[in-house]
Structure 1
């Protein structure tokens, strides 16, 4: 089964068009000639963004990610956020053209399936069709442990309530995406709505439903206790890691 694109048509709402155009204009001006293409994912390109609730997710593809200085990029984000307070935050992912083409089940998946191209030539069009399979699911989760460890560490050390809330939401999302990847062979489509992900996980994963409900409640609750959340998150990740290891072992024995 071939995995289809999440956003089939770009439908940016009128109140967000100036923001998107301004961000892209500033990035291109700051990093002249160093950017191949710019993409978005999430609610803004889908046309479902909510003012003062939704964030903005960009991806920059370039020849060499080291050409994109994060401090200069952060300065652009800060200026734009002051000008457009309806955006809660701006996240920008940076990768190389080689990343996209040489890692089709990781970066290729991200650019081809999750994102839509807003500037430049869409390198995702050069990524071969992505087949849903155990090999794809394993490749997709190559960096999951590293990312989970990173955000776990950031959350444990966060002293600011705003940052704690952001990390909890980000951690929850990462876990839901990881669990959802396990049921792709059952659903046949990638889902980026957390509520729909949750329902599919409950339908197809052999995980304690109360644990998933607790994780979802933590995702929604801006005042959840950090230790309480980490207890739930750690248990969810243990289930995911065991399921992924079982999948890898089964693939090895079959091969």
Structure 2
């Protein structure tokens, strides 16, 4: 939070740990090479690396690529190739994810308190003109809570299907990371307006949640551990079948459901 009570942008290229500097430069180069025909508006890095808290060998690389127009199949193919090339080239990172959203979508009124907030506060500019210049500032309100994580109930059925069909340690580990992080972040934004601040740190998020829901605090702490150091052990079922459904129902009661997307 800044001195005026707005949520400050949490990441910057200046905070990237030295161990990840080469990874970030390689990501910048590969994105520029893959979208060199004028399709690219801008690109961003988010997560623990630009926050300066990444751990070599454990942290993943998170990227957002924003074409001018809606992403095409060619854009998605390029993003997959970037993910694979970077993941294979650097032992410092454990997985790469590239999100694709058009600049128009990121600036749309519908996404103002979800993807817009994501760009303005959680992403660090990597290439191109910063879309945050066209977005408002944000406070930790119930509206922000509803629009960022008020759709957890929609994710649960898909996670159950993935858990039932995950047949490799790699798939189970990836699912554990995905589910645990989403659960912890949803738990945090549930209490965010009452807590009166912002954090992306999983441990701090879980502890803040526990102040308001002590009966679920230990479950949330376990979820934070899984989110930081995921394993193939199917502990994710506790999150999908117990904590997740409870959290989705409580979220709807406290903040309401996220606005429907097309």
TM range (shorter): 0.7 to 0.9
**Alignment partner of 1:101 is 2:136:** no
Query: Normalising by the residue count of structure 1, what TM-score does the alignment of the two structures yield?
Result: 0.87
> Counterpart of 1:145?
153
Could you tell me which runs of 5 or more consecutive residues in structure 2 were left unpaired when the two chains were aligned: 257-262
> Counterpart of 2:245?
238
**Alignment partner of 1:200 is 2:205:** no
1:106 touches 1:140 (CA, 8 Å); kept in 2?
Answer: yes
The alpha-carbon deviation at position 63 of structure 1 amounts to 1.9
Kindly tell me: are residues 131 and 47 of structure 1, through their superposed partners in 2, closer, same or farther at Cα, counting changes over 3 Å? closer
Query: Normalising by the residue count of structure 2, what TM-score does the alignment of the two structures yield?
Result: 0.85
* SS state at 2:40 partner: coil
* SS state at 1:66 partner: coil
CA distance in 2, matches of 1:104, 1:53: 32
The alpha-carbon deviation at position 207 of structure 1 amounts to 4.3
> Counterpart of 2:67?
62
How many residues are aligned here?
A: 247
> Counterpart of 1:4?
8
2:107 touches 2:134 (CA, 8 Å); kept in 1?
Answer: yes
Question: Please, what is the CA RMSD of the aligned residues?
Answer: 2.2
> Counterpart of 1:222?
231
Kindly tell me: are residues 149 and 2 of structure 1, through their superposed partners in 2, closer, same or farther at Cα, counting changes over 3 Å? farther
> Counterpart of 1:80?
86
> Counterpart of 1:253?
none
CA distance in 1, matches of 2:104, 2:45: 19
Could you tell me which runs of 5 or more consecutive residues in structure 1 were left unpaired when the two chains were aligned: 250-255
2:160 touches 2:240 (CA, 8 Å); kept in 1?
Answer: no
